[in-house]
Amino acid sequence: MKKVILGMIGLSLLGGAAVTMASPEQDRLDTIKYFQTKYPNVKIEDYVYGSLAFDQDTMDQYNAIMEFPPFESEVEKGKKMWDTPFKNGKTYASCMPNGGKNIAGNYPYFDDKAGKVVTFQDALNACRVANGEQAYNNGDMKTMGLLQAYARTLSDGMLSNVKVEGAGALAAYDDGKKTFYSRKGQLNFACATCHVQNAGTRLRSELISPVIGHTVHWPVFRAGDNLFTIHRRYVGCVKSVRGISPKEGDVSWNNLEYFHSYMSNGLPLKASVFRK
């Protein structure tokens, strides 16, 4: 199994040692092929449901919860933030392409002028600053978290469409890929240890989710109305393996999100959903 993963994905799961570098699109196609081979009865489009794709009972529970989401009032708080004008009278919709609709799937993207990856939360903060407001703390779930929770729902159904074009973008993508496959913490786990090598198996009582489809449903609500952005989840994962994590919004997390999101290209977004 390890040899298969090494050949298809391009980085060692054991030591993080680089081998022949594949293009981003080849990485994505090889990852899809890996999961199709390992789980031939699971449709690729079903991976938007994460680990639920592996178990019909938990999928049924999810569908029941989503009929009357316990976190709906929290998403409404995000909508109120989105709709409330800035001091200058403008709104988030006024500084976003298409009024903020069907754009989240284009993030993250690499900004050649700035020389860095720009995430959707970066775009929201840039909008605030451009309109004379202070930027939100990326790790604050009551501000940036709730704002994202609503703003990304405006792109529900849009297909993930992350692009990696140019040397700078490729370097950022490769840095994110390295982070995904590099082992961390006292437990010596990589993101790929769980979400590639052991995806679909159980950790204690819970099934482990696959890397494909991971990024299309964030932010998510866990255990009722407990909101998690994807960066908050990154931080939590590193702490779980007893490592030291950068803060939400760090360049390393932005680059990881860039790589991570590319792996879900072509799958539809569905933000603010329930996850265990």
3-state SS class at 84: coil
The answer to pTM > 0.85 is yes
Which pairing describes strands 206-207 and 220-222: parallel, antiparallel, or unpaired? unpaired
Per domain, the residue ranges of the chain are 1-276
The answer to whether 133 touches 84, Cβ cutoff 8 Å, is: no
How many C-beta atoms lie closer than 10 Å to residue 91's C-beta?
A: 18
What's the CA gap between 39 and 143, in Å, rounded? 39
d(CA 264, CA 172): 17
Of 95, 127, 194, 237, which one is the catalytic site residue?
237
Examine the residue annotation and report whether 194 is marked as an active-site residue of this protein: no
Count how many Cα atoms sit within 13 Å of the Cα of residue 32 in the half-sphere of its side chain. Answer: 18
Q: How far apart are the first and last CA of the chain?
A: 28
Assess if CATH 3.40.50.300 describes domain 1-276: no
| Tokens of residue 137, six digits | 């703390």
DSSP 3-state assignment of 39? Answer: coil
| Angle in degrees, CA 105, 218, 33, rounded to 5 | 70
Q: Give me the pLDDT at residue 224, please.
A: 74
Question: What is the chain's pLDDT, residue by residue, as a tens digit (276 residues)?
Answer: 443 343 344 444 334 444 346 899 999 999 999 999 999 999 999 999 999 999 999 999 999 999 999 999 999 999 999 999 999 999 999 999 999 999 999 999 999 999 999 999 999 999 999 999 999 999 999 999 999 999 999 999 999 999 999 999 999 999 999 999 999 999 999 999 999 999 999 988 889 999 999 999 999 998 778 999 999 999 999 999 999 999 999 999 999 999 999 999 999 999 999 987
CA distance to 71, 121, 122, 125, 270, per residue, from 220 (Å): 10, 15, 18, 20, 10
Cα–chain-centroid distance for residue 69? 21
Helices (DSSP H) in the chain: which residue ranges? 2-9, 24-38, 56-67, 72-83, 120-130, 146-151, 167-181, 191-192, 230-240, 251-262
Rounded distance between C-alpha atoms, residue 257 and residue 271, angstroms: 15
